[in-house]
Amino acid sequence: MASEIAQATAVLTSRFGRARVLSQRSMGHFEPGAVLSALAARAAAEVAVGA
């Protein structure tokens, strides 16, 4: 689920932070924080189930 949400950020435009100057050019790129959160959630889930 978290990775699906991270992938959904590719259609968003940046309005805040460093990427705001890119605006429309940021479309099509995943938001790095969302991708990192998805990876961390997946790793935590794997540790929790003992994979």
pLDDT of residue 51: 61
Dihedral sign, Cα of residue 26, residue 15, residue 10, residue 32: positive
- Average the pLDDT over 14-23 and give the result: 78
pLDDT of residue 3: 79
Q: Provide the residue range defining the domain that includes 27.
A: 2-49
**25-50, pLDDT tens digit by residue?**
778 888 888 899 999 999 999 999 98
- What is the pLDDT confidence band of residue 12, given thresholds at 50, 70 and 90? confident
| Tokens standing for residue 20 | 């705001």
Instruction: Please tell me which residue, 16 or 45, carries the higher pLDDT value.
Output: 45
> From its phi and psi, is residue 17 left (phi > 0), alpha (psi between -120 and 50) or beta?
left
Could you give the number of structural domains in the chain? 1
